[in-house]
Amino acid sequence: MVGGRGPLATADSCNGFALPVLEFHQLYSFDRPTLFKAIEKPSGMSAARFRATADEVLTKILQITENAGATPEDRAANFVACRYEAVYLKTFEAFAGDYALTSIDVRPAAVGGDQDVMSFTVSYTSRTTDLTEKYSVLVATRYMNPYLLTRLGPSL
């Protein structure tokens, strides 16, 4: 959902709860099979391995997006999880190279200025050498609709 949060509704209008009124500008909805169909399966990966990997990746990303979207970090995480295919493709590539997705970190970027720029970083650790590789993308969150400032690339 992209929109705004208004005042609290009265408890009598929300079955006894005081919940915020939400104004929807855009609403995105998908289920797992639809998302998996939208992502191109890497060549050489079996369909079963692709589905298992895609399911694991989506589950990990959704764990960090269980938020109200109230902070720039939340909005950047939500945007990348729902709208940026490259993070999924990089994760499939890492899995094929025997790396595991070990962390996802979203924090203000050092180059943010007044754009509320967030750095979305994924870390992959080799299952055989324990070497960790990190990849980041910068997301501007100042306005209602977040947008990419960079493509996903090796993190410095």
Q: What is d(CA 118, CA 77) in angstroms, rounded to the nearest whole number?
A: 9
Closest CA to 72 of 152, 7, 146, 151: 146
DSSP state of 10: P
DSSP state of 68: -
- Nearest-5° Cα angle at 66, 143 to 134: 75
For residue 56 the two structure tokens come to 């694991």
Phi-psi region of 133 (alpha: psi -120 to 50; beta: other; left: phi over 0): beta
Q: pLDDT tens for the chain, 156 residues: list them.
A: 666 677 888 778 778 877 777 777 777 676 778 877 777 777 787 888 888 877 877 787 777 667 777 889 989 988 898 788 898 889 888 888 899 889 889 999 988 666 799 999 999 999 999 999 999 999 999 888 899 999 999 997
Q: Is 37 exposed, middle or buried (0-12, 13-18, 19+ CB in 10 A)?
A: exposed
Phi-psi region of 15 (alpha: psi -120 to 50; beta: other; left: phi over 0): left
